[in-house]
Amino acid sequence: MRRLRPSLWLFLLATSGAVAAEHRFPPPEFEAGHKLPITTTPEARALAWQYVDLAVLLGALGLALWLIYRRRSRRGVMWLSIFSLGYFGFYRNGCICAIGTIQNLALGIFDRSYALPLTVLGFFLAPLVVALFGGRAFCAAVCPHGALQDLVLVKPVKVPGWLEHSLGLVPFLFLGAGAAFAATGSAFIICRYDPFVPLFRLSGSMSLIGLGAAFVLVGLFVGRPYCRFLCPYGALLRLAGLVSKWRVRVTPDYCTQCKLCEHACPYGAMREPVAAPTHPEPPARQRRRLAWLLLVLPLAVGGGALVGRQLAPLAARMHPTVALAELYTEHLSSPKKFPPMTPEALSLERAEADPKALLAAAADLRGRFGIASTWFGAWVGLVIVIKLIALSLRPARTDYEPDRGACVACARCFESCPNERVRRGLLPPEALPPRPLPAAPVAMKKA
């Protein structure tokens, strides 16, 4: 608070001077000496609470890391999930959340006049940096969206691989669209179409509540449908997880190849060891495919950019100013009569007051959308072809291990592993088959 003083004083000086110079027309003098009531101004949530939020976030992230890597405790992760759901979800109404901060950041980068609150930057960066080193600990138990879905999962169903991979494109496209709309200052679509925030608030538009309910219903059977198939921040964390320094390891010792962990994972994130196919695809064909895809990559990016550019006028309508300008020009050519005092009639009045400025602003925005949607188109091409390339590379794996990107570190697999059970003293060591190969390097020490 102390640091705020100078700016506060400046603000007061700037406004109070003007107020003092003004003379307000005096209200009536009441003979009976009636005193005028004072207009109340309930305070907004105090700034200090923003720092509490940030502290809770950092604390929860640290605790999640500890629970996942040290304690290897599903129960602990679950209780942290419940806490996060309660705090960030139902107490803080799902707002502030790291998912939405993508947009604030995108807007902040492109709009120099937009001041980014410190906490927003913190909420964006902290989970990301954690993911770069320790995987998606944020998704595991800190994000209220993830926590909600994780907790309602009662009967996980395996999503077929092809569907998983295809739908897995959506978060990246949503990320691109969200950033593009935010960067042009037109809309925060990630927040607007967030299915869970209305549930946290117990209030919202019917369609969004319905969407949230639908996600929860699907989430009873499909693990974390939002995280896997929509969440744009999850897409970012997935990328971060791919290069993370430490990762979740199922077995504390060596892999017995029992496949139990694969069954335990509800999110399709467990990868089996690579086995040689009986009829391997000729390597030449694989190489040719890869070469083709590498060739297609720039074409797809360029083509996407071209198509994206064409989308600019459509996308620009998302901006209220452009929408108003279009309503106005349409009104000029074929006048429409709106009932008096309706929002449409009133916004047209605003347009008519200074059409030149409005149309100039709209033209400027269209120009910005031209750039943004070009980038978006290129991003779409890039995402699709990179995904195809990734599916064309042969992985090298000797053990069952969670996919670095897909694993949300929910800690369910740990207790499925016989080696872990031995470690916890739930199984006698003799129950295990003998160590098949020399020990593979283990990143984290056993507890």
Partner 1 sequence: MNPGPTTPAFSRRQFLRDGLRLSAVAGAAGLAGAMAGRTQAQTTVWQIDPAKCVRCGNCATKCVLEQSAVKCVHAFDICGYCQLCTGYFEPEPNELTTAAENQQCPTAAIKRTFVEDPYYEYEIDENLCIGCAKCVEGCTRFGNGSLYLQIRHDRCLNCNECAIARTCPGDAFRRVPVTHPYLLKTDTH
Partner 2 sequence: MATAPDSPVYRTAVSTAWVAGVFLVVVAGAMLYQRLTANSNDPWKSPQLLELKEQLRASPKDEKIKERIRELDLKFRQRYVRRLALTRTGGWLLLGGSVILVVALATAMETRKVQPLPRPDPTAGDRAQRDRAVARRAVGVAGAAVAVVMVGAAATLRSPPTVGDRGGAGAAAEAAKAAVAPLPPASEFAANWPQFRGPGGSGVATAAEVPLSWNGASGAGVAWKTPVPEPGFNSPIVWGDRIFCSGGTREKRVVMCFDLATGRLRWDRVIEKVPGAPAQAPEISDQTGYAAPTMATDGVRAYAIFATGELAAVNFDGSLAWAKHLGVPKNLYGHATSLAVWQGRVIVQLDQGESGPANSRIMAFDGVSGKQLWEKARSVPGSWSSPIVIEAAGKTQIIALGDPLVTAYAAGDGAEPWRAELPGGEVTPSPAFVGGLVLAVNPHNALLALKPDGAGDVTASHVAWKAEDDVPDVTSPVGNDELVFTVTSDGKLLCFDVKTGARVWMHELKQEVQASPAIAGGRLYLIGSNGVTIVAAVAREFKELARNELGEKIVASPAFVRGKIILRGLENLYCLAGETPKPGTP
Partner 3 sequence: MSTPSENSGFSRRRFVERLARGSVVAGAAAVARGALQAAETNPFAYDVGPLAKTDPAWVNWHEVKRWSVGGRAPRRLAFGPGDVLHVAAESQVLRFNREGAALPPLATTGAVTCVAVAGDGTVYASLRDHLEVFAPGGGRSAAWESPGPRTWISSLALGHGGLWAADSGARVILRYDLGGKLLGRIGAREPGRNVPGLVVPSPFLDVKVHPDGLLRVNNPGRHRFEAYTADGECEGTWGAPTAAIKGFCGCCNPIALAVLPDGRMVTCEKGLPRVKVYDAAGELAGVVAGTESFPANMKAGGAPGRGGLDAAVDSAGRVHVLDRVTATVHVFAPGKAGA
Integer Cα distance of 326 and 372 in angstroms: 20
The interface with partner 1 within residues 388-447 (CB under 8 A) comprises 396, 398, 437-438, 440
- Residues 416-435 as x/- pattern, contact with partner 2 by CB under 8 A: --------------------
Distance of closest approach, residue 355 Cβ to partner 2, in angstroms: 4
Integer Cα distance of 58 and 126 in angstroms: 7
Integer Cα distance of 134 and 127 in angstroms: 10
Which residues sit opposite 401 in a β-bridge?
Answer: 271
Q: Where are the alpha helices (DSSP H) in 135-205?
A: 137-141, 144-152, 161-167, 170-183, 189-192, 197-201
Is residue 23 near partner 3 by the rule CB under 8 A? yes
- Residues 188-227 as x/- pattern, contact with partner 3 by CB under 8 A: -----------------xxx-xxx-xxx-xx-xxx-----
Tokens 């790291």 identify what position? 98
Distance of closest approach, residue 337 Cβ to partner 2, in angstroms: 15
The interface with partner 3 within residues 152-181 (CB under 8 A) comprises 155, 157-162
Instruction: With CB under 8 A as the rule, give the number of residues binding partner 2.
Output: 67
Look up residue 405 and give its amino acid: G
Q: How far is CA 284 from the centre of its chain?
A: 40
3-state secondary structure of 434: coil
Integer Cα distance of 325 and 309 in angstroms: 20
**8 Å CB contact between 268 and 159:** yes
Nearer to partner 1, 90 or 221 (CB): 90
Is residue 266 near partner 2 by the rule CB under 8 A? no
The interface with partner 2 within residues 77-116 (CB under 8 A) comprises 90
Other Cβ atoms less than 10 A from the Cβ of 16: the count is 10
Strand 401-402 and strand 270-271: pairing?
A: antiparallel
Binds partner 2 by CB under 8 A, chosen from 313, 323, 375, 432: 313
- Residues 334-353 as x/- pattern, contact with partner 3 by CB under 8 A: -----xxxxx-----x----
Distance of closest approach, residue 46 Cβ to partner 1, in angstroms: 8
Binds partner 1 by CB under 8 A, chosen from 6, 115, 155, 284: 115
Is residue 333 near partner 2 by the rule CB under 8 A? yes
The interface with partner 1 within residues 195-224 (CB under 8 A) comprises 198, 201, 203-205
Count how many residues are written for the chain: 447
Strands (E), 359-412: 401-402
CA-nearest of 360, 292, 290 to 325 is 360
Distance of closest approach, residue 358 Cβ to partner 2, in angstroms: 8
**8 Å CB contact between 225 and 219:** yes
Distance of closest approach, residue 397 Cβ to partner 2, in angstroms: 10
Integer Cα distance of 37 and 211 in angstroms: 45
Integer Cα distance of 265 and 270 in angstroms: 6
Binds partner 1 by CB under 8 A, chosen from 129, 291, 363, 390: 129
Is residue 48 near partner 1 by the rule CB under 8 A? no
Is residue 37 near partner 1 by the rule CB under 8 A? yes
Please report, in angstroms and rounded to a whole number, the separation of the first and last CA atoms in the chain.
Answer: 42
Nearer to partner 3, 20 or 439 (CB): 20
**8 Å CB contact between 409 and 139:** yes
Residues that bind partner 2 (CB under 8 A): 90, 151-152, 154-155, 161-167, 169, 173, 202-203, 206, 216, 220, 257-260, 262-263, 272, 274-281, 303-304, 307-308, 310-311, 313-314, 325-326, 328-330, 332-334, 352, 355-356, 359-360, 362-363, 366-367, 377, 380, 384-385, 387-388, 391-392
Residues that bind partner 3 (CB under 8 A): 23, 25-26, 28-29, 155, 157-162, 205-207, 209-211, 213-215, 217-218, 220-222, 262-263, 339-343, 349
